[in-house]
């Protein structure tokens, strides 16, 4: 079993596409290089939500991971997303990732879990055990909001970690700062190293202050530098600097995660185009291009965060 336990600032990269919806390899490589060059970035997640992973076939996912490992794998660990509605399919994706050279796996819950997995917790343990039987890679459990039906209770997370020892971290997207603290306290009390990575962009500063071991976020594709600076400020106890950075990040998070929530990564792609870090903001169907009103809001958010010239945005 690998001793790797992810911590620190871990952006989940966006997936650039050509106009005909193919993976844009040169742009992906350019994007990955920018992320890897950011001081304080400790790993990169490939094939997460931010990469529109559910629109990618198995061969595309493996190719995208191979590109990431080829481009930055000699500099940083690469965490591979595992998003599948069946445990056996998830295990196959896990074996692909291990064969390519990934350092860890980010395991999302099957959509079936949304229909009541908290009342059938054995399904949680079986899903992860099925994956763990087929790979020795460390596993990061993607924690969704329990209120949506497919998140895990704190007690279920503790049991999962006890029953599947290769589960070494969670990506906490509970969207509940009280539950986040409960998870941190319980999982840090396991008696073995365990990492809680927040992805709650609307309360990022708060989650880090209560003890999160890092952050794993699609928004990091746009602001990995600010996120890394925020994490470093909290780690050294510089709360004034932390608040200052949070004041820059919060309005931008509000723009990215505005309703409809499904356009969050669509908006982040537009932001990268505005910043000159992507050539185009193509998204795969059924997602559709954003209108000018949305694009103007994104520009205003970037200006507020001091990433663009203000142009009266404040």
Domain ranges of the chain: 8-236
Conformation bin of residue 40: beta by default, left when phi > 0, alpha when psi is -120 to 50? left
Architecture of the domain delimited by 8-236 = Alpha-Beta Barrel (3.20)
Query: Predicted confidence band at 314 (pLDDT cuts at 50, 70, 90)?
Result: very low
Report the distance separating Cα 157 and Cα 33, nearest Å.
34
Q: What is the pTM of this model?
A: 0.96
Mean pLDDT within 97-123: 96
- pLDDT digit string, tens, across residues 34-60: 999 999 999 999 999 999 999 999 999
The pLDDT of residue 202: 87
pLDDT in tens, 257-291: 999 999 999 999 999 999 999 999 999 999 999 99
Which residues are CB-contacts of 236 (< 8 A; sequence separation ≥ 6)?
none
**Percentage of the chain surpassing pLDDT 70?**
97
Q: How many other β-carbons are positioned within 10 Å of the β-carbon of residue 193? A: 12
Q: CA 125 to CA 207: how far, in whole Å?
A: 26
Residue 312 to residue 78: CA distance in whole angstroms: 39
Model pLDDT, residue 150 = 86
């Amino acid at each position: 079993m690998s001793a790797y336990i992810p911590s620190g600032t871990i952006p989940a990269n966006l997936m650039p596409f050509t106009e005909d919806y193919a993976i844009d390899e040169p742009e992906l490589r350019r994007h990955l290089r920018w992320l890897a060059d950011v001081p304080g970035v400790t790993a990169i997640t490939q094939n997460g939500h931010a990469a529109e992973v559910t629109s990618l076939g198995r061969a595309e996912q493996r190719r995208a991971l191979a590109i990431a490992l080829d481009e930055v794998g000699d500099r940083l660990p690469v965490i591979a997303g595992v998003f599948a509605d069946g445990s056996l399919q998830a295990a196959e994706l896990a074996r692909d990732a291990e064969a390519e050279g990934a350092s860890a796996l980010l395991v999302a819950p099957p959509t079936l879990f949304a229909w009541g997995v908290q009342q059938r917790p054995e399904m949680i343990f079986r899903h992860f055990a099925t994956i763990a039987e087929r790979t020795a890679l460390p596993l990061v459990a993607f924690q969704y909001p329990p209120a949506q039906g497919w998140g895990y209770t704190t007690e279920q997370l503790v049991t999962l970690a006890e029953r599947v020892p290769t589960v070494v971290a969670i990506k906490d997207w509970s969207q509940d700062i009280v539950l986040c603290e409960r998870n941190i306290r319980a999982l840090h009390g396991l008696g073995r190293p365990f990492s809680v990575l927040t992805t709650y962009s609307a309360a990022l500063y708060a989650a880090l202050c209560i003890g999160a071991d890092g952050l794993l976020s699609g928004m990091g594709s746009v602001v990995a530098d600010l996120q890394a600076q925020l994490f470093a400020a909290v780690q050294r106890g510089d709360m004034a600097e932390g608040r200052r950075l949070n004041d820059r990040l919060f309005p931008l998070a509000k723009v990215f995660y505005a309703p409809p929530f499904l356009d969050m990564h669509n908006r982040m792609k537009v932001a990268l185009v505005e910043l000159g870090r992507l050539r185009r903001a193509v998204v795969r169907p059924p997602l559709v291009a954003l209108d000018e009103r949305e694009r103007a809001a994104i520009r205003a958010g970037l200006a507020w965060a001091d990433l663009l010239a203000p142009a009266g945005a404040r």
